[in-house]
Amino acid sequence: MTQQFEDGYQRRFYYLRLSVTDVCNFKCTYCLPDGYRPDGSKRPSFISLPEIKRVVTAFAHCGTNKVRITGGEPTLRRDFTEIVETVAQTPGIDKVAMTTNGYRMAKHVEQWRQAGLTHINVSLDSLDAKQFHQITGQNRFHDVMAGIDRALEVGYKQIKINVVLLKDLNSQQFPQFLNWIKDKPIQLRFIELMKTGEMDELFDNHHVSGVSLRNHLIANGWLLKLREANDGPAQVFIHPDYQGEIGLIMPYEKGFCSTCNRLRVSSRGKLHLCLFGDDGLELRDLMQSDEQEQQLIARISEGLTHKDVSHHLSEGDSGATPHLASIGG
Ligand code: SAM
Ligand code: SF4
């Protein structure tokens, strides 16, 4: 490795979040409440396998060792297994993760594992089937649970479960969630609801800060785990009586961005320096042949000089992101 992606604040980037589609079959209230709506304009197709290979290779040549495949719902892509394989076979990439709503996991997770998928995050906002349906617009609770069980069966040592905290909805499920991870190798990640461009009163009605949850955990014997160099922004807590762990993701907390180690490429081939940044920097024209790699790297490096020290969520500014499915949450 001769180069390293770094920004003007000495932050180094090891972790690429790659969105492979913005289509989704769920209607999560905080993300796509009306479901996926293709925009009428003639937009380019999603990045292809050869484009994925080139962009991941360029990132790997500049220090990236972890790629998360996300979306929309990434497993809706027919070539999802090939995408996993392509990323996993890129020299330098040793962690291939995905974030999924889990609806296809029970059937396919073994195949994904064989293709090289090393880490799985599944979104599961409730342990109550009715409430799950209410939040996601899909009656798929049992499919998702079967997928999680299957993933553990085929050999994943730990599964991460993303739960978006929603006041007066799933926040009351906390005891059930705790009980669930008592004897299971699951890291429950409670994510604070983030306000995005298309969100209206949902945020005001349902945002709940992770601070009270953190205080509750500490008061009940949970201990903060030390961060490792490439760890994400979650504050992870462990407890001697629990096999599972709890992660808190609190993007509104001061200092959240100081450990930022990730960059994003959207399913249309744009570089996003932040989940809550601007419209993104076009990379696709430089993903067309292997010979363009140095130009691609140069454009990304130049783009990085414009990366802001922090997002501006607390000032009510969520950038140009209409919802997280658009650039990959
Ligand atoms: N469809 C996949 C899924 O749901 O796991 C991957 C894409 S989804 C955009 C990635 C993650 O972003 C999910 O865990 C979801 O719960 C989270 N998310 C979406 N919108 C959010 C918001 N406004 N605030 C916090 N988390 C959000
Ligand atoms: Fe789809 Fe994921 Fe957004 Fe839910 S959070 S609507 S599953 S992209």
Q: What is the mean pLDDT of residues 150-170?
A: 95
Q: What is the pLDDT of residue 313?
A: 67
Q: What is the pLDDT of residue 23?
A: 94
Task: Assess whether the C-beta atom of 31 lies below 6 angstroms from ligand 1.
Answer: yes
324 Cα: distance to centroid of ligand 1 (angstroms): 6
Which atom of ligand 1 is the closest one to the Cα of 19? 7
275 Cα: distance to centroid of ligand 1 (angstroms): 12
pLDDT in tens, 119-143: 999 999 999 999 999 999 999 999 9
Q: What is the mean pLDDT of residues 93-111?
A: 97
72 Cα: distance to centroid of ligand 2 (angstroms): 6
Which atom of ligand 1 is the closest one to the Cα of 73? 1
Q: What is the pLDDT of residue 40?
A: 66
Task: Assess whether the C-beta atom of 148 lies below 6 angstroms from ligand 1.
Answer: no
Q: What angle do CA 191, 192, 196 make, to 5 degrees?
A: 110
pLDDT in tens, 257-279: 777 888 999 999 999 988 777 77
pLDDT in tens, 27-77: 999 999 999 988 766 566 999 999 999 999 999 999 999 999 999 999 999
Task: Assess whether the C-beta atom of 69 lies below 6 angstroms from ligand 1.
Answer: no
Given a cut of 60, is residue 1 above it in pLDDT? no
Task: Assess whether the C-beta atom of 162 lies below 6 angstroms from ligand 1.
Answer: yes
Better pLDDT: 103 or 260? 103
Query: What residue's CA is closest to ligand 2, atom 8?
Result: 72
Which atom of ligand 2 is the closest one to the Cα of 164? 5
Which atom of ligand 2 is the closest one to the Cα of 324? 3
Given a cut of 90, is residue 223 above it in pLDDT? yes
pTM of the complete model: 0.95
Strands of the sheet with 262-265, listed across from one edge: 223-224, 235-238, 245-249, 186-192, 159-165, 119-123, 95-100, 66-70, 15-19, 262-265, 270-272, 281-282
Residue type, 287: M
Ligand 2 site residues, Cβ closer than 6 angstroms: 24, 26-28, 31-32, 71-73, 101, 123, 325
Task: Assess whether the C-beta atom of 100 lies below 6 angstroms from ligand 1.
Answer: yes
Average pLDDT, the chain: 91
Q: What is the mean pLDDT of residues 197-210?
A: 86
Please name each of the domains of the chain with its CATH number.
15-326 (3.20.20.70)
Residue 245 main-chain phi, psi, to 5 deg:
-125, 165
Which atom of ligand 2 is the closest one to the Cα of 72? 8
Which atom of ligand 1 is the closest one to the Cα of 163? 16
Q: What is the pLDDT of residue 42?
A: 54
Q: What is the pLDDT of residue 171?
A: 83
Banded pLDDT at 2 (limits 50, 70, 90): low
Q: What is the mean pLDDT of residues 289-312?
A: 88
**Tokens found for residue 258:** 């100081």
Q: What is the pLDDT of residue 279?
A: 77
Task: Assess whether the C-beta atom of 123 lies below 6 angstroms from ligand 1.
Answer: yes
Q: What is the mean pLDDT of residues 170-186?
A: 93
